[in-house]
Amino acid sequence: MKLLDLFCGAGGASAGYAAAGFEVHGVDLKHGKQYPYTYVRADVLDVLRDKNYLDQFDVIHASPPCQTHSITQHLRNAQGKTTSKLDLIPETRAALIESGKPYIIENVPGSPLINPIQLCGSSFGLKVRRHRLFESNLQLLGSVCLHNEQGRPVGVYGSLRDNIPNGGKTAESIDEARLAMGIPWAIRSELVEAIPPAYTFWLGKQIIDLI
Ligand SMILES: C[S@@+](CC[C@H](N)C(=O)[O-])C[C@H]1O[C@@H](n2cnc3c(N)ncnc32)[C@H](O)[C@@H]1O
């Protein structure tokens, strides 16, 4: 089965779907030199208007940029710093519904997803927590947090070797960050934006059973 990963970045989400059994194609504006699957460099909003292109896929996943809703953005706002406030979630959702395909939209806690499930790195034996929400027109199962079992988490954001206010630390090194996320090929700026492949492996297995 073929899965289209929109806003694919370095391919954290793509890797989990591939491991679950999908042939994965990714679309992103940035040149994904290390992206491990078939890659198209394009604006997702243009791709979403191309019905013939979308028709070749069985499932579509989208990870629209999340700066508008993320906790780090709220911090930047409080510090008076500005970044793009573009929210691509509504437009992406409308086009995915229009496509008639099974779809998944991933975003950060606090984003306006509809009836999302949540996944946590602690559920998958990872050192990151990285709570992420997933909206879908399929009935997908979320995961149960195992924070106590996980112990001190490793953060993959901000700068290296920083204290996290409620316990834990950001990664000591790029290698520790890659290991914590399960994405050994990504550079730091990509890791900060990615989701662990373990999340989409979990979802991908469910999707294969459902469609
Ligand atoms: C949150 S990251 C995706 C991370 C990815 N899901 C992963 O797990 O590695 C969002 C990505 O959207 C891309 N992007 C932002 N606006 C875009 C657009 N209009 N068309 C294509 N890509 C876009 C950025 O280049 C960035 O790589």
For position 163, what pLDDT does the model report?
81
Q: What is the pLDDT of residues 72-93, one digit of tens each?
A: 555 555 555 554 557 999 999 9
Kindly report the CATH class assigned to 2-210.
alpha beta
The SS3 call for residue 43 is: coil
Average pLDDT score over the chain: 91
CA separation, residue 207 to residues 9, 41, 58, 105 (Å): 22, 26, 10, 14
For position 31, what pLDDT does the model report?
80
For position 86, what pLDDT does the model report?
75
Ligand 1 pocket test target in 3, 7, 111, 202 with most atoms within 8 Å of CB: 7
Rounded distance between C-alpha atoms, residue 6 and residue 25, angstroms: 9
Of ligand 1's atoms, which has the minimum distance to the CA of residue 11?
A: 9
Rounded distance between C-alpha atoms, residue 104 and residue 116, angstroms: 10
Rounded distance between C-alpha atoms, residue 29 and residue 44, angstroms: 8
The alpha carbon of 64 and the centre of ligand 1 are apart by a number of angstroms equal to 6
Rounded distance between C-alpha atoms, residue 93 and residue 111, angstroms: 13
Of ligand 1's atoms, which has the minimum distance to the CA of residue 47?
A: 20
pTM exceeds 0.85? yes
Quick check: 19 and 204 in contact, CB under 8 A? yes
Residue 50 has pLDDT above 90, yes or no: yes
Q: What is the pLDDT of residues 120-134, one digit of tens each?
A: 999 999 999 999 999
* CB distance 45 to ligand 1 below 6 Å: yes
For position 165, what pLDDT does the model report?
73
Residue nearest to atom 13 of ligand 1 (CA): 7
Give how far the C-alpha of residue 65 lies from the chain's centroid of Cα atoms, to the nearest Å: 9
* CB distance 171 to ligand 1 below 6 Å: no
* Domain definitions of the chain by residue range: 2-210
| Alpha-helix runs per DSSP H in the chain | 12-20, 44-47, 51-54, 71-78, 89-99, 147-150, 174-181, 188-193, 197-210
Phi, psi of 112 (to 5 degrees): -85, 55
Rounded distance between C-alpha atoms, residue 51 and residue 4, angstroms: 13
For position 158, what pLDDT does the model report?
84
The alpha carbon of 151 and the centre of ligand 1 are apart by a number of angstroms equal to 31
Q: Residue 23 corresponds to which tokens in the numbers above?
A: 């042939």
The alpha carbon of 76 and the centre of ligand 1 are apart by a number of angstroms equal to 20
